C-alpha cells in the first residue's frame, strides 16, 4: 500500500443483506427454480412436489453459502440428488438456465433497504469515501451487474468483488486490503459495515478497521463481549459519523 495516499476516512459496506434485501427474494427464486427443474426432469409440477423441491433448494442455499461454494450450476445436481434420493446429474444446459433464473430473480426483486441511499449521500457530503466488498456470486460479472442494477453504483468510490478480483473471499483480509488501496485510505481510518459476523468481521478487524454489524434477528440479543458494534439500521448513519470522528 502506498502510504502517501492514506488520507481521509472511508466506510466499506457489504452488499447483500447490508445494502439490499437479497434474502427475501431468494424464496421466490427457489420456487421458480423448483418448478423449472421439475418441469424439465419429467416430474409432475404439483404444489406438493414444488414445495418439496423448493425446501430442498432453500436448505442447500444456506449450506452452500456457509461453505463458500458459490457456483450455482453445481447446486442443482445436488438438489435433484436429494429430491430423488439417488445420485442425479442434470443434463446441460439446464443447470446454467436454472442459475440464470436465480440471478435474474435476485436482480429484479432485491430492494434497497429503507434509508440506505440517504446514509450513503450523507456520508459523501461529509467527505467520507464509500467502498463495497462483496463475495462473488459464482458467475463472473454478476455481482458487479447486480450492484449497478441496484441503483447505488454511482455512489461508490470503489468496489471489490472478492473471489474475482482477489484469490480469497471474505473473511480473509485480502479483499479488505484491496478496497483500502483502491480508496487510498489506511485501514485504521475505515469502518467496515456488514450483516454477517461470520464473513463481515475478521477481515477488517485484522487490518485495524472498526467493524459494525447491522442489527438483525440473529444479532439483536448479542451482548458487549464481541469485538464489533451491533447497530440498528435507523441509527447507523449517526453511529458511523461519530466513530469516524466527523461530528
How many Å apart are CA 78 and CA 159, to the nearest integer?
32
Percent of the chain with pLDDT over 90: 87
Q: Please answer whether residues 176 and 207 qualify as being in contact, where contact means their C-beta atoms are separated by less than 8 angstroms.
A: yes
Count the helices and strands in the chain (H runs, E runs): 9, 6
Segment 238-243 mean pLDDT: 96
Residue 144: all three cell numbers together: 458487479
- Grouping H, G, I as helix, E, B as strand and the rest as coil, residue 32 is helix
- Asked if residue 159 has pLDDT above 50, the reply is yes
Q: What is the pLDDT of residue 3?
A: 38
Q: What is the pLDDT of residue 186?
A: 97
The DSSP secondary-structure symbol of 152 reads -
For residue 8, how far is the Cα from the chain centroid? Answer: 26
Q: What is the pLDDT of residue 157?
A: 98
Residue with grid cell 440506505, as numbered in its chain: 116
Q: Please answer whether residues 179 and 160 qualify as being in contact, where contact means their C-beta atoms are separated by less than 8 angstroms.
A: yes
- Asked if residue 2 has pLDDT above 50, the reply is no
Q: What is the mean pLDDT of the chain?
A: 92
Q: Please answer whether residues 75 and 60 qualify as being in contact, where contact means their C-beta atoms are separated by less than 8 angstroms.
A: yes
Residue 81: all three cell numbers together: 440428488
Q: What is the pLDDT of residue 216?
A: 77
Segment 75-96 mean pLDDT: 95
Segment 62-91 mean pLDDT: 94
Percent of the chain with pLDDT over 70: 94
How many Å apart are CA 190 and CA 187, to the nearest integer?
5
Peptide bond into 171 cis (omega under 30): yes
* Closest residue by Cα to residue 231 from 188, 173, 205, 192: 192
Amino acid at each position: 500500500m502506498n502510504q502517501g495516499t492514506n488520507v481521509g476516512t472511508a466506510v466499506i459496506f457489504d452488499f447483500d443483506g447490508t445494502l439490499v434485501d437479497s434474502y427475501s427474494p431468494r424464496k421466490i427464486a427457489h420456487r421458480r427454480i423448483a418448478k423449472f427443474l421439475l418441469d424439465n426432469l419429467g416430474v409432475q409440477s404439483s404444489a406438493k412436489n414444488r414445495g418439496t423441491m423448493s425446501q430442498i433448494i432453500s436448505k442447500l442455499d444456506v449450506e452452500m453459502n456457509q461453505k463458500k461454494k458459490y457456483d450455482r450450476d453445481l447446486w442443482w445436481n445436488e438438489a435433484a440428488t436429494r429430491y430423488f434420493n439417488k445420485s442425479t446429474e442434470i443434463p446441460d444446459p439446464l443447470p446454467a438456465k436454472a442459475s440464470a433464473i436465480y440471478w435474474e430473480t435476485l436482480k429484479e426483486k432485491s430492494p434497497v433497504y429503507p434509508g440506505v441511499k440517504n446514509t450513503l449521500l450523507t456520508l459523501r457530503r461529509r467527505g467520507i469515501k464509500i467502498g463495497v466488498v462483496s463475495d462473488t456470486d459464482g458467475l463472473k460479472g454478476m455481482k458487479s451487474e447486480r450492484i449497478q442494477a441496484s441503483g447505488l453504483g454511482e455512489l461508490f468510490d470503489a468496489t471489490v468483488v472478492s473471489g474475482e478480483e482477489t484469490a480469497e473471499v471474505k473473511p480473509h483480509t485480502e479483499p479488505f486490503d484491496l478496497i483500502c488501496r483502491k480508496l487510498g485510505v489506511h485501514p485504521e481510518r475505515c469502518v467496515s459495515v456488514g450483516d454477517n459476523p461470520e464473513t463481515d468481521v475478521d477481515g477488517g478487524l485484522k487490518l485495524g478497521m472498526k467493524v459494525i454489524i447491522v442489527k438483525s434477528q440473529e444479532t439483536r440479543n448479542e451482548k458487549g463481549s464481541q469485538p464489533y458494534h451491533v447497530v440498528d439500521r435507523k441509527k447507523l448513519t449517526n453511529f458511523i459519523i461519530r466513530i469516524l470522528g466527523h461530528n
